[in-house]
């Protein structure tokens, strides 16, 4: 630019100041980045065939370091929102000064590098330090990300559609609680999927979300009741026929069921076979999650005891009862609490009498004081 043009610009600025338009004049710059103030500060460049620019700014900071850090964060936030709105990806630091994107719903994390800081400019006035930062994201990387995200979305939609169909079959089979769990899975799979993605024979994510929510709403009341329902299962194992295991099981089941009801929870009638009990007590969570929800209970309380005849001492028949009381969540079969139990009792007339006394004492002395806290995890009154 020649001297004549510089003079013209100076005169124009002078007249602008005299005319009272001082609000449009920048403060005197005390310090700034090396070079000439760039034009992109006033207007961030538009995307071109090769890249997407994102400009951030921060004003009135104490120094250039804090100002440029804030401006960088502002630019990165704009990039994050742009990517998030387009493909539902997260922006993370790669630990070495770069950035990467992770797409939701993929079996393996998808990491795409490519964001870099193209330019920055700071300047200091009496009001503080301002900074501008421009980040650039390559269009090729963006297109790769979109394609990867679209494939991930398609897979999620297929899984969601399968979950919706399975939920319908479970509801027809009389398993509303398991149906509800599958609908929740479908709704979660559909979160964040772009409306532009659609699959022939399945539809678009918006329609699937509406379907999942409507069906979830229709089941909520019934499921809420089931989630406060406990199936009580009792097994009293005794090889010695004198121990009257069946009688002990009945006493224990009735006693525990009364305590469950007193805690404000509903007791579900029903029983489990030996094979089911063995699988559950061996830690097979799937045995619980597959069976218990279809029995109409959100929780399973298993009391398992082993009775052993200790002998006759001075005319008293002694019996030892040892085992545990375990609470399981039906949705995933997870054990959420356990009480270890042990009781020794005697009876002057028979071993079966000692077993009954042992059962009653276990309920009164061991189970009753502790069961409330255990059932609080299932929504009961502690």
Pair 317, 299 in one domain: yes
* More confident position, 239 or 118: 118
Residue in 136, 146, 130 with CA at minimum distance from that of residue 54: 136
pLDDT at position 113: 64
Q: Is residue 6 part of a domain?
A: no
The two three-digit tokens of residue 189, written as one number? 């799979």
The DSSP H or E segment spanning 245 is helix 245-262
Of the chain, the percentage scoring pLDDT greater than 70 comes to 81
> Which domain-ending residue is among 208, 226, 244?
226
Which of 121-135, 162-176, 365-379 has maximum average pLDDT?
121-135
pLDDT, residue 196, reads 61
My answer on whether 48 and 173 are in the same domain is: no
Q: Any idea what the CATH number is for the domain that residue 370 is in?
A: 3.30.160
75 with 104, same domain?
yes
Instruction: For residue 13, tell me if it sits in a domain.
Output: no
Lowest mean pLDDT among 81-85, 156-160, 186-190, 264-268: 81-85
Q: What's the pLDDT at 302?
A: 92
- Domain boundary among the residues 121, 145, 169 is at 145
Q: What is the total residue count of the chain?
A: 382
Averaged confidence pLDDT in the chain: 81
Residue 175 sits in the same domain as residue 289: no
123 pLDDT more than 70: yes
326/284 Cα distance (integer angstroms): 13
Looking at the structure of the chain, the number of domains it has is: 3
Domain that holds residue 49: 26-145
Task: Verify that 55 and 157 share a domain, yes or no.
Answer: no
The fraction of the chain above a pLDDT of 90, given in percent, is 30
CA distance 258 to 249: 14
Contact 192, 206 (CB under 8 A): no
Do 301 and 276 belong to one domain?
Answer: yes
> 149-153, 201-205, 238-242: lowest mean pLDDT where?
238-242
**Please, what sign has the CA dihedral across residues 345, 351, 353, 356?**
positive
Residues 233 and 222 in one domain: no
Q: What is the pLDDT of residues 138-176, one digit of tens each?
A: 998 888 877 877 787 788 888 999 999 999 998 888 888
pLDDT band at 306 (very low <50, low <70, confident <90, very high): confident
Q: What is the pLDDT of residue 348?
A: 76
200's tokens: 């022939």
Q: What is the dihedral of CA 280, 284, 286, 287, to 10 degrees?
A: -30
Q: Examine residue 373 and state whether it is found in any structural domain, yes or no.
A: yes
**Residue that is last in its domain, among 115, 145, 175:** 145
- Among 107-121, 203-217, 278-292, 355-369, the minimum mean pLDDT is found in 107-121
Taking the C-alpha atoms of residue 91 and residue 103, their distance in angstroms, rounded to an integer, is 9
- The yes-or-no verdict on residue 14 having pLDDT over 60 is no
User: Does residue 131 or residue 145 have the better pLDDT?
Assistant: 131
Asked if 251 and 354 sit in the same domain, the reply is yes
Question: Could you tell me if 378 and 230 are in contact, meaning their C-beta atoms sit under 8 angstroms apart?
Answer: yes
339, 323 Cβ separation under 8 angstroms: no
Looking at the fold, whether 105 and 127 belong to one and the same domain comes out as yes
Residue 201 belongs to a domain with what CATH number? 1.20.58
256 and 328 together in one domain: yes
**Would you place residue 110 in the very low, low, confident or very high pLDDT band (cuts 50, 70, 90)?**
low
């Amino acid at each position: 630019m020649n001297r004549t043009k510089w003079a013209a610009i100076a005169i124009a600025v002078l007249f602008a100041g005299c005319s009272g338009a001082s609000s449009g004049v920048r403060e005197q710059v005390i310090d700034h980045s090396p070079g000439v103030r760039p034009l992109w500060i006033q207007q961030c460049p538009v995307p071109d065939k090769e890249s997407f620019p994102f400009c951030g700014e921060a004003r009135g900071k104490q120094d250039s370091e804090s100002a440029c850090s804030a401006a960088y964060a502002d630019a990165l936030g704009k990039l994050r929102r742009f990517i998030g709105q387009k493909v539902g990806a997260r922006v993370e630091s790669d630990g070495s000064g770069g950035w990467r994107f992770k797409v939701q719903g993929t079996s393996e994390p998808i990491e795409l590098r490519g964001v870099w800081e193209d330019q920055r400019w700071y300047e200091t006035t009496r009001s503080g330090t301002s900074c501008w930062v421009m980040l650039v994201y390559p269009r090729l990387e963006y297109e790769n990300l979109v394609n990867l995200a679209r494939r991930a979305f398609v897979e999620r939609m297929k899984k969601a559609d399968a979950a919706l169909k399975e939920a319908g079959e479970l509801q027809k089979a009389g398993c509303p609680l398991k149906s509800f769990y599958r609908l929740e899975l479908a709704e979660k799979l559909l979160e964040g999927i772009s409306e532009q993605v659609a699959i022939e024979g399945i539809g678009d994510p918006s329609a699937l979300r509406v379907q999942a929510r409507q069906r979830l709403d229709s089941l909520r009341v019934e499921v809420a009741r089931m989630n406060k329902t406990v199936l009580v299962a009792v097994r009293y194992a005794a090889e010695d026929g004198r121990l009257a295991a069946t009688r002990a099981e009945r006493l224990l089941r009735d006693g525990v069921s009364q305590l469950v009801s007193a805690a404000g929870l509903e007791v579900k009638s029903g029983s489990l076979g030996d094979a089911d009990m063995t699988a559950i007590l061996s830690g097979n969570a799937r045995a619980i999650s597959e069976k218990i929800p279809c029995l109409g209970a959100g929780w399973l309380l298993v009391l398992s005891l082993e009775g052993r005849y200790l002998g006759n001492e001075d005319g008293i028949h002694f019996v030892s009862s040892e085992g545990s009381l375990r609470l399981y969540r039906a949705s995933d079969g997870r054990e959420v609490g356990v009480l270890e139990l042990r009781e020794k009792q005697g009876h002057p007339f028979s071993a079966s009498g000692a077993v009954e006394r042992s059962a009653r004492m276990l309920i009164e002395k061991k189970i009753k004081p502790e069961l409330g806290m255990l059932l609080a995890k299932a929504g009961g009154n502690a």
